[in-house]
Structure 1
């Protein structure tokens, strides 16, 4: 039977995951601006378009089987091996199909020059899917410390490779090498950490119990993927690779806080919720606490980036990218709006509400793609980012209504509790914007603007947090004290 994990186990594993993502954040904070200064927008756009296709096919190849494997109460060896070979077989089929269809697919996406990259990057599909089962075993055992270590190592070494190659003049190949290096190093690390050794065991009947859950998860993940990646394809097709490159660079940087917090939290919460079963109180407490903590941490980062987007774009990416600061700001704002949703997807996934997860994701994907396309047809890249903000505001309301209804939490009460820190962060960001505007005559240096904005924002948000989130802060302090008391002397 699967072990029961309490708040202490969950917070420990979230801590490891956040530590790993924080290290990755530090690397990307340095490497993305360096690469942006050494490479052109078109080069970024070409790789981003090709990577979108590879990531989409990787998601389909996995078919949600490893997620279903995490949900199983027992760790059956034959089922594990069967899922491994099913994943690998699908990955190889996808890789061959992409290689053969690279040229027409590149034309369809509005980037015919990316055909050769699609053929090369097709090899990433089997490399990435080969590690899914090893990661699944670590997730089942809630052993995220080892995954965190190897994720940090792989991203660190890959970033070093990319920067060195970019300085050496390899251009677009620096980005390609970064992807392959990260995938190969993490693959080796996952096998080492999980001690998993694939064996030639294939029992197709073992897949049958997994398909019902995996099909819903696969559908929702595909829809979520379209939500996050369709803007790149639409922008490249309707506005050109230069705008796609500007979007790619801004999105990479604006996504760093999400990758630090959300990826870590979602990866841990899914297996945690899956073993809580019908214990509604524990499940509800974990949902609200994780949502509040995530929002308290992430919301000020995203709204703060919106507030200082103009000087930040100039300082981080250089004068060649300064014109794209509204894109960076609006992307940060769009991600900030859906901050409370960060725990809703693993909640729906882990509690077996795959149909709600699927339809919510489909509606969001259709709305996002349509809004971006219409904005690009009748406006500019900035208009497209405004449309994304509107869609994300509606997404927040939709996901909140679905989750709070399932958990019998009054909608307005749940929305207020989960979004309170987001409102504080919004007030903080508007205050920073007003302060910078009022002091603009005295802040000619963009570096000083960022420092002043950070100081004002930290002070305002800290005060608002003390006023509105005292109960949450007391709870977190209590958890830390209990943890220290439980440690051996």
Structure 2
């Protein structure tokens, strides 16, 4: 099968898998949010930085190295598996030892026992990481779909049953552990990859050389991507962190469905054409435009319709999260641009530059937090938006040097999409506001505003002969 056909096939199954996972996640989240309190989500949000940090250490950048390396065998897979397992054990021990200190830092006594149970995921994750990586490298997202969706559904049911039984925050702990355990069991038994008792020092050095910089970058990114949870949890009431965590997670749903789906497909695809700069540039350009074309109306209309959406789906107790969500949607729009620019550095083997850029950007984040913190939660959120645009300039400048597709070229390609998105958002907002703002009519305001905005978006796109729309028609629909 040609690279183009494999990419299209991979995109279809990856999108189906992401849709299945996110659809399950949305349903479970809605019910849990109705049953549990914002404080419960806030407590779990306090752990986000530590969980992300542990996952970065376990991965050690080596799974990315496996995907990027063209010829790999059992020595590579088995060596990386044992490294992941050893680091996972170390990460769990470290979290257990630190549990009391973390609990004291947030002044939440319940955190100590939660950490000791929740962080068992560090022992579970290594048993699926390499198997999943092999499927991604082979673009076998159909098998991943068969494994992931049932695990999410069963784990979600366990979480809901616990919530109905009054377990509170422990419902979220139980759901997460169940999902990760089921994933690892299925990846282990339903895929052909079994690690052998092999540890090849030379293969370790090879993958570690590439992965070390990505590990450091991943650690930095994990800490600073979740540092807002850390800061908000420390300096604001736990309910505020709950509202922020929920807004942030809901913002991620369309981003993960559209952007992350293509990211998982494009990294192995980019790796196969890494030596052809012109082909890499054209592939990158098309993918970037496609992602932003479909993501823009979703994020724009979600922000515009946030108030009736939150009240109708999550109930009025979550309305304080609405302005957080609306601001975070702006950051969500920028995420795929950051992701794909950085993928160029990875496929070019410049993990050293990747690390340097992460250090620069996170230094700016520290400065931003110091400046914004005295002015409250909204100053922090708007600071994140400003930093997101600065990150775009930094990422695209350096990735553009490798494929001759720099900052200005990317802006020219993407501005028309954002303008059309703004027009559709304005129409959706006007239609929504024409309908009386009462809870009983929220469903009608959502449907009317959403349909009106979507109609205008595609109408203007057709009228202006939007390139991504016509490319999608020629590339996807005809097949």
TM-score bracket relative to the smaller structure: over 0.9
The CA deviation string for residues 426-480 of structure 1, in whole angstroms up to 9 with x for no partner, is 2322332344345557997222221221022112211222134543333333323
What displacement does 1:178 show?
A: 0.9
Give secondary structure in 2 for the equivalent of 1:153.
helix
Name the structure 2 match of 1:487.
none
1:264 and 2:264 aligned: no
Q: Which residue pairs with 2:23 in the alignment?
A: 26
Report the alpha carbon displacement of residue 375 of structure 1 after superposing the two structures with TM: 2.7
Q: Could you tell me whether the CA contact under 8 Å between 1:219 and 1:358 is conserved in 2?
A: yes
Query: In the alignment, is the contact (CA less than 8 A) between 1:288 and 1:418 conserved in 2?
Result: no
Aligned partners of 1:459, 1:474: CA distance in 2, in Å?
16
Q: Aligned in 2, Cα 1:441/1:213: closer, same or farther, shift over 3 Å?
A: closer
| 8 Å contact from structure 1 (residues 337, 392) kept in 2 | yes
Shift of 1:251: 1.3
- Check the 8 A contact 1:443/1:449 in 2, yes or no: no
Which moved further from structure 2: 84-93 or 107-116? 107-116
* Preserved contact between residue 25 and residue 256 of structure 1 (Cα < 8 Å): yes
Matched-pair contact (CA < 8 Å) for 2:393–2:407: no
From 392, 407, 414, give the equivalent of 2:410. 414
**Could you tell me whether the CA contact under 8 Å between 1:338 and 1:395 is conserved in 2?**
no
Separation in 2 of the partners of 1:130 and 1:226? 24
Distance 1:155 1:370, change over 3 A: farther
| 84-93 or 65-74, which deviates more | 65-74
Matching of residue 384 in structure 1 with residue 380 in structure 2? yes
For 2:317 and 2:170, how far apart are their aligned partners in 1? 21
Structure 1 position 231, deviation (Å)? 0.9
After superposition, what is the alpha-carbon deviation per residue over 1:223-257, rounded to whole angstroms, capped at 9, x for unaligned? 33234211111100111211111111111211111
The reply to whether residue 59 of structure 1 matches residue 56 of structure 2 is yes
Gaps (5+ residues) in structure 1?
A: 484-489
Alignment TM-score, normalising by the size of structure 1: 0.92
Moved more, 298-307 or 217-226: 217-226
| Distance in 2 separating the partners of 1:158 and 1:52 | 22
* Aligned twin of 1:322: 319
Q: Alpha carbon RMSD of aligned pairs, Å?
A: 2.2
Q: How does 1:32-181 map to 2 (within 5 A)?
A: 32-109=29-106, 111-181=108-178
1:480 aligns with 2:468: no
Cα deviation 1:121-140 (Å, max 9, x = unaligned): 22110211221111121122
In 2, the alpha carbon distance for the partners of 1:402 and 1:422 equals: 23
| Structure 1 Cα separation of the partners of residues 12 and 358 of structure 2 | 28
2:122 partner SS: helix
User: Which whole-Å CA distance do the structure 2 matches of 1:339 and 1:352 have between them?
Assistant: 20
Q: What pairs up with 1:81-480 in 2 under 5 angstroms?
A: 81-109=78-106, 111-379=108-376, 381-409=377-405, 411-440=407-436, 445-480=441-476
The TM-score with structure 2 as length reference comes to 0.94
Maintained 8 Å contact 1:309/1:325? yes
How many matched pairs?
Answer: 479
Asked whether the equivalents of residues 288 and 337 of structure 2 are also in contact (C-alpha less than 8 Å), the reply is: yes
